[in-house]
Structure 1
Amino acid sequence: MAELKFEIKEHIGTVSESSKGWTKELNIVSWNGANPKFDLRDWAPEHEKMGKGLTFTNEELKNLRDILIDMNL
């Protein structure tokens, strides 16, 4: 299996933290040298491991924002 390469370009914020120190974070990440995207996933304390996550383009994140606003949370 090919090695997955990533670079966290910007940390936007932390959504939550588990008792084991993993954090659910929103970051801007470049995967395998591609254009950076917004990325929401769990990370180990030193970002050496990651869980499954979701990536969003600018337009997708704007659409998600609008959906959440419409929910009146």
Structure 2
Amino acid sequence: MADIKFEITKHIAVLSESPKGWRKELNLISWNGREPKYDLRDWAPDHEKMGKGVTLSSEEFEKLKEVLQKE
């Protein structure tokens, strides 16, 4: 499996934290040098390991905000 390079360009929020220190975070992340996208996933305390997550473009993120505000 190829190495995946990432850079957290903006930390937005921690939504929760497990007893083992893993945190569910919302960040803007640049994956493999591409334009940053909104990213929601679990991270180990040192950001060396990550869980599966969801990555959204700015347009998708704005649409999600609209939908959630209607709820």
| TM category, shorter | over 0.9
| Unaligned stretches of 5+ residues in structure 1 | none
Q: How does 1:45-56 map to 2 (within 5 A)?
A: 45-56=45-56
One-letter amino acid of the structure 1 residue matched with residue 12 of structure 2 = I
Return structure 1 stretches of 4+ with deviation > 6 angstroms.
Answer: none
Within 5 Å, give how 1:1-73 maps onto structure 2: 1-71=1-71
Alpha-carbon distance in structure 1 between the residues aligned to 2:47 and 2:64: 25
RMSD: 0.5
Please give the per-residue CA displacement for 1:4-54, whole angstroms capped at 9, x wherever unaligned.
110000100100000110000000000011111010000000100000001
How many equivalent residue pairs? 71
Q: How many angstroms apart in 2 are the aligned matches of 1:22 and 1:53?
A: 13
Deviation at 1:58, TM superposition (A): 0.9
Unaligned 5+ runs, structure 2: none
% same residue: 61
TM-score, normalization by structure 1: 0.94
